Amino acid sequence: MRTKMVAGNWKMNKTLQEGVALATELKETVKNPSCAVVIGTPFIHLATVSELLKGSPIKVAAENCADKDKGAFTGEVSAAMVKSTGAEYVILGHSERRAYYHEDYAILREKVRLALDNGLKPIFCIGEVKEEREAGKQNEIVKAQLEGSVFNLTAEEWNNITLAYEPVWAIGTGLTATPEQAQEMHAYIRSLVAEKYGKQAAEDTTILYGGSCNEKNAAELFANEDVDGGLIGGAALIGEKFRAIIAAR
């Protein structure tokens, strides 16, 4: 049985105090979720929020980690450092990192490798931009993203991977993929995982949907067989909305 999950991605939002306030609220109100719950926070929040959430079912994710092990890389944060905060997950391959910070397949392959070597579980994001969808190239794009950065993993390593399908045209735009579009792509992604790692591994792989998923459309998206949960941006910044999405899963 694969894990159902609702994960938040705070992006570059919330001061430390604001983040602590939201994490505290979630700790007090999310006690017995029917799915795994993860919050992705900025680096500077990780240690405090991880400590605060001890004993809570809510797990913590970093939103990035370096593609280098350690050393003279001013301003970077390594996978080992993330792990040392108590965080268990790391979001990698987010389209904002790919687009604004030029993270290509090779860089992401390194980040995934370092995350796994340091005991972190990657939430690996894939998805096409608007022009690619309009040209009918979405399948070929997500396939290339998987082959470029994660299909080099061993079967054993694969067990630690959560995928997130995030059509870039749906992120932060209010343009959610329809439940049919999400299901179609998730089924395709699962078929690729089956070809690479076998049917059972594909059955066991958690595939989240992300892109303007909110408290109003979550239930409809999650009702699809291959949509195992969501990676939530904007709606994860408000406790009430995030809780409603968790309840929809």
Per CB under 6 A, the list member of 35, 49, 60, 231 interacting with ligand PGA is: 231
How many chain residues touch ligand PGA (CB under 6 A)?
13
d(CA 167, CA 127): 5
Q: Which one of 110, 128, 132, 166 is the catalytic residue? A: 166
Told to check if 50 binds ligand PGA by CB under 6 A, we report: no
Nearest to ligand PGA of 197, 214 (CB atom): 214
Of 142 and 197, which has the nearer Cβ to ligand PGA?
142
Q: Say if CB 126 and CB 94 are below 8 A apart.
A: no
* Active-site annotation holds for 166: yes
Distance in Å, CB of 61 to ligand PGA, minimum: 11
- Alpha-carbon torsion, ordered 197, 167, 162, 83, to 10 deg: 130
The question of whether 45 is a catalytic residue gets the answer no
User: According to CB under 6 A, which residues from 1 to 20 bind ligand PGA?
Assistant: 9
Q: How far is the CB of 127 from ligand PGA (least distance, A)?
A: 9
Helix (H, G, I), strand (E, B) or coil at 123: strand
Write down the least CB distance from residue 236 to ligand PGA, Å.
7
Tokens of 112: 């995934």
φ and ψ at residue 36, rounded to 5 degrees: -70, 140
Count CB atoms within 10 A of the CB of residue 10: 23
167 sits near ligand PGA (criterion: CB under 6 A): no
Q: Which residue has the tokens 């390593």?
A: 157
Find where tokens 């994660």 sit. 150
Angle among Cα 24, 6, 114 to the nearest 5 degrees reads 90
Identify whether the C-beta of residue 215 lies closer than 8 Å to the C-beta of residue 172.
Answer: no
Q: Of 94, 96, 132, 215, which residue is the catalytic one?
A: 94
Among 19, 122, 167, 211, binds ligand PGA (CB under 6 A): 211
Strands 229-232 and 5-9: parallel
Per CB under 6 A, does 212 bind ligand PGA? yes
* 234 is a contact residue toward ligand PGA (CB under 6 A): yes
Cite the active site residues: 94, 166
Which residues of this protein are in contact with ligand PGA, per CB under 6 A? Answer: 9, 166, 171-172, 210-213, 231-235
